[in-house]
Structure 1
């Protein structure tokens, strides 16, 4: 079967609002380590990992063997109405690693479901449907999660079950706070929070939900310490803090195991997903028992924390810790970030290279301005693919390349990917210069 046949079939039965990457979409049919092969036999170095999900890379023996052991028992599903040893063991590990005291864990299938569960818990605990969220954020595609998503391109409905008030993001290029230095930005953001609470809310607010680094938003992040400054204000009236760690968790930032730790603060609730399953559907929310026990009726997740996914999750987490992949993310991420900044410093179409660890972005603008240039980003995106490198796209304006390689990335692979990236960016920049 040709890719063209599959593309035609895809378009015939799947909705148009499900985008496909590339002018000529590809089907990935095999993978090993940090490399994948498409249906035409072309191999690529993968710097996006299924949207930061194949955190260890492809065909990892320890994960495969753990899943196969569970499959051989014949028990693929039992539901949480029965004890699941793999689930309990994984919950124990995550509770311990979360940094949250007296923690409880509830498993779901996706980051969307995890954030939905966190919002359910927080609104029940506080008896309020008022939520603080951050501009340029993304928290999922379900009803409430979409309601706290501050990015118009991902807000598929104007309807909202929550009353949401919006805070300024960590945007460094545009917006009211972008002209300030880090300390001034934190001070201004705190003033903004106080003003929002005074003018846009009524009575008790349930929670603030925020990403330490905004994923879909283009890996934008605020100055370190902002969340702690915000939480001092939240604590005055008991407002909960939800850290959305769906993309920033598990050591990806290199600096810390969780993104929130860069702010010297502990959240009341933490949501996780993506990399913990390394491709298996696994996510959840962890929080203080007092908060997580706020659900006033029976609730469970049919597939969340199932035996196969949690078998994978245990193997992934053990591998991550045994191999100190957080340190590897810091080491290989520095090769990419430092190399990119040096190599494209002379290009005025590149406004910023940003991120932490193996969570990096390049933002494109029209030369000499801060006006977004999505066309240049697309050219670079396609040029990366032509050079044998898969990356992602994102940002509020669609003008950002996003990179989230597997945390097992080697230094040699980082340098190889860097060379392809630099060549692609320069090709894209040259193509945008009038003849």
Structure 2
């Protein structure tokens, strides 16, 4: 079993931390202040512009008075970050402080902030045509659709362009119900599929729910989380790092997977009609905390869902476009082909865009009515998204995710073994979660105030990461996919120091 950490390990930034000092026999133990240097940030040749707009005080005042109240809840930090400019994996605040961005605007900046090649494509298109509706034929939509479907397997060859991931998932729900003639849709607990009235029903996390009717006909089944769930082991998931739970499964057979599939079957037998419309699943849960499933879970789930008359929908909003490293799409790592794929975020490097890709058969069912989207397929959005695909190929972004991501995961696993409060490290490529616990035996989530301490200190040392998980207990690392091994080493030093400092203060 796992033993508790016996005492603080000290290494940290230039703040006062406490360490035990050994005194002569009979003397009382005292504490002395020790200062440690902040890890050195990698160099960057880019020079940001000087900030010359509003004061921070004025920005906050307007945010409080004129922006909706939710903006004050999602500033994340006790001391907010005032971002001014970005370049590749770097961000600068209004005071000129540089940050290594390991959250990418919630896994959205795929190839790097203001990537020169993508900037050039955007400017070129802006000089020719900003907008015209899809009523008229302009080349950007057709060029992009052809390029996108070339990266997807048969029979996924029909594209619907939207403005966001929530909108894409709304559209996918409608298409699934029209095509199957069924209504009920299944998702996993802990999932996040959007915040619109319809997609909110797909989302299974109380923090994103409101006490109003939404997403009728949506149901959640048990998430096959092999770290926090009822069943799990150390051979379950497709990741360079496995969970620390013991496992007695024979090679190629996962007992945890069997138990979670039994839960799905029981849910189908008790909660929904005999015929269903769809199953929505993220290949790796994003907001849920980079949760990974047993290797065959999605493959068996797809088979069961199709037997019930439903179609299978892969939500690739966070896992797509090479982020998992081993494959361009997250579903490919599960050896499945969905009937529909939804995508957004990294599709256009942060420009508002989303898409649904499906089969000709499903698309023909949807064509019985009229669906129109004013901004879907906007020429500028398509030009940017097309440039993103070119950049992913030319900069070997997917390979970078595999190499740097695997390195980062394996090094984080060493920190997991070092600290009692790091319960799990998981993910693939640059889709990483670090789950924090009070101790490895109970696996109880680290309290929010403790998470906030580590989170804030990591930011103060120059690294921006995210948080997620049902209980807010998981640090999310989903950077622009251009980060380097040197960047990874800097983050590892910062995170190690932040955790050590927290342990020293306990």
Please say whether Structure 1 and Structure 2 have the same fold, judged by a TM-score greater than 0.5: yes
For the 8 Å contact 1:344–1:422, the answer to whether it is kept is no
For the 8 Å contact 2:268–2:274, the answer to whether it is kept is no
**RMSD of aligned Cα (Å):** 1.6
Q: Higher helix proportion, which one?
A: 1
The residue matched to 2:314 in structure 1 has which SS?
strand
The residue matched to 2:418 in structure 1 has which SS?
coil
CA apart distance, 1:121: 0.4
Structure-to-structure mapping, 1:9-408, within 5 angstroms: 9-18=62-71, 19-73=74-128, 75-101=129-155, 103-178=157-232, 182=236, 183-295=254-366, 296-368=368-440, 369-373=442-446, 374-408=448-482
Question: 1-side partners of 2:124 and 2:321: how far apart?
Answer: 24
Q: Which sits farther off after the overlay, 342-351 or 34-43?
A: 342-351
For the 8 Å contact 1:111–1:271, the answer to whether it is kept is yes
1:132-170 deviations in Å (ceiling 9; x for gaps):
111000000111100011111112244134212321113
For the 8 Å contact 2:192–2:288, the answer to whether it is kept is yes
Question: 2-side partners of 1:158 and 1:181: how far apart?
Answer: 41
The residue matched to 2:365 in structure 1 has which SS?
coil
CA apart distance, 1:380: 1.4
CA apart distance, 1:180: 9.2
Count of equivalent residues: 431
CA apart distance, 1:188: 1.7
Going from structure 1 to structure 2, the CA distance change for 1:394 and 1:102 (only over 3 Å counts) comes to closer
CA apart distance, 1:127: 1.5
Structure 2: gaps of 5 or more residues: 1-53, 237-253
TM-score by length of 1: 0.95
Question: 2-side partners of 1:365 and 1:430: how far apart?
Answer: 16
Structure 1: gaps of 5 or more residues: none
* Max Rg structure: 2
CA apart distance, 1:237: 3.2
For the 8 Å contact 2:165–2:343, the answer to whether it is kept is yes
TM-score by length of 2: 0.82
Q: Which sits farther off after the overlay, 180-189 or 164-173?
A: 180-189
CA apart distance, 1:220: 0.8
For the 8 Å contact 1:169–1:221, the answer to whether it is kept is no
For the 8 Å contact 1:364–1:376, the answer to whether it is kept is no
CA apart distance, 1:189: 2.2
Question: 1-side partners of 2:428 and 2:484: how far apart?
Answer: 17
Question: 1-side partners of 2:76 and 2:141: how far apart?
Answer: 35
After TM superposition, the runs of 4+ consecutive aligned structure 1 residues lying more than 6 A away are: none
Going from structure 1 to structure 2, the CA distance change for 1:110 and 1:102 (only over 3 Å counts) comes to closer
